[in-house]
Chain A
Amino acid sequence: MLRIVPVASPDEAVSLRLEGQIRGPWVEELRRSCAQALATGRGLTLDMTDVSFIDLDGVALFQSLSDHNVTLLHCSLFVGEQLKGGGVMSTIFSAGRVSRGEDEHLSGMRTADVPPARKENSMVGARGGAESACADMTEQELVQRLQAGDTEAFDTLFRQHFSKVYRQALHLLGTAAEAEEVVQEVFLTVYEKAHTFRGASAFTTWLYRLTVNAALSRLRRRTRRKEIALDDYLPQFRADGHHLVRPVVDWSADLEQCLANAQVQQLLWKAIELLQPLDKAVLVLSDFEDLPNREIGEALGLTVLAVKARLHRARLFLRGQWAVALGHSPA
């Protein structure tokens, strides 16, 4: 159980106090709350004083938050070590002082204290004077200035969102060169078509849509590999609803032991490449970018139900690929 409590903040950032354990379905709940807070453009502070546990999915969530204007406060030693093990500490905490009080709590650091080189998406620009006028603006203000032709606003938006756009493109396309092309295309469109952005959705949603569309058009132009029957890797059932192939083998503990890490990665990327472009986009935006289904639907022009159906099918397919790699039936 995790309680997420908005609290008053002395500064501009949205502040949430977390109480309980960050695990299971509560990770998704926290992810949504963080996304909502970050969409305001004001930064986010998470008070971790009363967080007693965080599971792997929770660590992954904090990894994904590392590129945003997020501060973690008062992690316990235990939780701090869990985050550190997942690589989160290196991006949020490494650049400055970390003090340990007698109660053994770790104090987090605001990203404003982080050297500029680390702040790819911070509101405080690394370039100093030229962008300082935009540094404290909300995203809405920046977009309005961009629409008025302000190139400094564009520069700030670029620095805030570059990493996210590039990463999405790289996950979708798999090659750095194509990802770079997509990033250029997306931000050029942002500059040229800013006047068409009406604000009906969040600016980030518009960015996701531009990124995914640019990537999808490239994916669809790729020479199609030999078609495989996706259904061959999906679970199958008898008329009475039982699994067709029994017993279903639990290989969940075997995978990383049986395959070296590089093999695992290679296998997974190959499997993802076999997905239809739209299914791949749904999977990437969900399981790599942690977007909620509603935002994925807005970016791809799909209903939430359609997003869930495609995501589930993609996940089942990947599961089937793992099963076959380990010598088991996917069914």
Chain B
Amino acid sequence: MAESARATITCEQVTALLIDYVAGDLDPTTTLVLEQHVQNCPDCMAFLRTYRESIRLTRTLRYEAIPGELQDRVHAILRQKMTGESR
């Protein structure tokens, strides 16, 4: 049973599974097969690292600071429009 039963996976399949792998959504068996492949495949190891780094960098772009007066201004505009509307 050994060789034929042992799951194998190609680099293309690993790439397709990365979205679930980095989210921790793969089942344990598939995770094991994927990790075994990556550990023995420098190309996939490099691809995984660059994929993760790309996601991390994207997240650094998040806007955090919102001008304090903006909320009050928008609220005032909304109130004007609301009082001008009939429901």
Which of these, B43, B66, B85, contacts A166 with CB under 8 Å? B66
Neighbouring A residues of B49 by C-beta, 8 Å: 250, 252
Of A33-41, A102-110, A151-159, A212-220, the one contacting chain B is A151-159
A183 touches B74 (CB 8 A): yes
Interface mask (A226-260 → B, CB under 8 Å = 1, otherwise 0): 00000000010100111100111111100110000
Which of these, A154, A180, A243, contacts B70 with CB under 8 Å? A180
Q: Does A87 contact B (CB under 8 A)?
A: yes
Neighbouring B residues of A114 by C-beta, 8 Å: none
Q: Does A3 contact B (CB under 8 A)?
A: no
Distance in Å: Cβ of A282 to nearest Cβ of chain B = 11
B42 touches A247 (CB 8 A): yes
Neighbouring B residues of A158 by C-beta, 8 Å: 75, 78
Interface mask (A157-172 → B, CB under 8 Å = 1, otherwise 0): 0110011001100110
**Residue in chain B with minimal CB distance to A180:** B74
Q: Does B6 contact A (CB under 8 A)?
A: no
Cα A242 to Cα B14 with chains together (Å):
10
Q: Tally A residues with Cβ within 8 Å of B.
A: 65
Q: Does A73 contact B (CB under 8 A)?
A: no
Chain B residues packing against A (C-beta within 8 Å): 10-13, 15-16, 18-20, 22-25, 42-47, 49-59, 61-64, 66, 68, 70-71, 74-75, 77-78, 81-82, 85, 87
A-B contacts, 11 listed (Cβ < 8 Å): A25-B22, A87-B64, A162-B74, A166-B66, A184-B81, A191-B87, A240-B10, A243-B47, A268-B58, A288-B61, A322-B53
Chain A residues packing against B (C-beta within 8 Å): 24-26, 28-29, 56-57, 60, 63-64, 66, 87, 117, 120, 149, 151, 154-155, 158-159, 162-163, 166-167, 170-171, 180, 183-184, 187-188, 191-192, 235, 237, 240-243, 246-252, 255-256, 264-265, 268-269, 272, 283, 287-288, 308, 311-312, 315-316, 318-319, 322-323
